[in-house]
Amino acid sequence: MSDLKQNVSDQIKDAMRAKDKIRLNVLRYLKKLFIDNDVSTKPIPEMDIVISHAKKTKDSISMYPDGSEQQEAIKAEMKILEEFLPKQLTDDEVKKIVSEIVAGLEKPNMGAIMKELSPKIKGQFDGKKANQMVQAALK
């Protein structure tokens, strides 16, 4: 069992002992996603599963009115998921990576830059925001 899977399993036990229902539900769902991936014909790395689920959860926050019960519940889920995500990059760190990529390309264009940038920031920075930074760098 991978470290991430083992960590989630251990934390499920801790959440059960603490009777923390929200945390328990988030962790159980994460474990379910890991199990589904294990039996999949094309399994992907566990971190990619966490990143994908966190992105979907984050996107669903805007579906509810500000301050609503549902939105607060989703924000609480996001806080739990953030514990399993890689360290987030700052705007300055991403700008530096973008400028290095631009400097390394003969004819920098949006597609070429994003192709190199995406794997470097996956799960560590918002893709839409990175896209805007690349557009600004090309001007």
Q: Where in the chain is the domain with CATH 1.10.10?
A: 91-138
What pLDDT score does 23 carry?
A: 95
pTM here is 0.77
Give every residue of the chain whose pLDDT is below 70, as ranges.
Answer: 1
What pLDDT score does 1 carry?
A: 63
Q: Where in the chain is the domain with CATH 1.10.1510?
A: 3-82
Domain 91-138 CATH class label: mainly alpha
Residue from 3, 22, 5, 24 nearest 13 by CA:
24
3-82 topology per CATH: Hypothetical Protein Yqey; Chain: A; domain1 (1.10.1510)
Burial of 8 by CB count in 10 Å (0-12 exposed, 13-18 middle, 19+ buried)? buried
